Amino acid sequence: MNHPHVETESILRRALEQSGQRYTEQRAAVFRFLRSTEAHPTADEVFLSVRADVPGISLATVYKSLETLVGCGLASKLTYGDGSARYDGRTDDHHHLRCLDCGKVLDLVDHVDADEVHRLEASARGFRVTGYRLELTGYCANCDRAGGAPPA
Ligand code: ZN
Ligand code: MN
């Protein structure tokens, strides 16, 4: 039987150890929160959530913990042209929908046809492809309802 909480902790311990990093309660709290949400939070949002569990934790510690998790392959960092970043507890291949109004990022449920990607790879002109990211941009249901932003 897998107890989800215990499983999360052992995944974290193992990955930190393999990267020569120490297990800390702060890192564990940040990791638990990332794994529990599909919201792709910013560092600020992670900070606001975990400080309820870990009194005294600082934004700087949250930020460093997030970067450590990314470095250990336990989370992904999504960066944008404006310098903002969001974190994702999922590290498997998947794609995103991003709202141009509120910045919300959602997982795309559909899989992208691998044959189509390989077809693109064939025309990559000597570029060695090691992965790909697909992001659909537009307006989330909330922002669209608000009648705000017209199409770009
Ligand atoms: Zn939105
Ligand atoms: Mn995601």
- With 70 as the cut, is the pLDDT of residue 2 above it? no
Cα distance between residue 37 and residue 103, in whole Å: 16
List residues, by chain if needed, whose CB lies under 5 Å from ion ligand 2: 88, 90, 107
Residue 152 has a pLDDT of 54
Residues 38 and 96: beta-carbon distance below 8 Å: no
CA of 107 to the centre of ligand 2 (A): 5
- What is the CA(63)–ligand 2 centre distance, in A? 19
Q: How far is the CA of 130 from the centre of ligand 1 (A)?
A: 31
Domains of the chain: 1-91 (1.10.10.10), 93-152 (3.30.1490.190)
Q: For 91-109, what is the mean pLDDT?
A: 91
Please report which ligand is nearest the Cα atom of 87.
2
Q: Which of 41-45, 49-53, 92-96 has the lowest mean pLDDT?
A: 92-96
CA of 35 to the centre of ligand 1 (A): 22
Starting from the CA of residue 145, give the closest ligand. 1
Residue 146 Cα, ligand 1 centroid: separation in angstroms?
9
Q: Are strands 95-99 and 135-138 parallel, antiparallel or unpaired?
A: parallel
Which residues have C-beta within 8 Å of that of residue 43, sequence separation ≥ 6? Answer: 59, 62, 63, 66, 85, 87
- Ligand 1 centroid to 107 CA: how many Å? 14
| pLDDT tens sequence across 26-43 | 999 999 999 999 999 999
User: Distances in Å between the alpha carbon of 84 and those of 77, 109, 140, 143, 145?
Assistant: 10, 24, 19, 20, 25
Contact 73, 12 (CB under 8 A): no
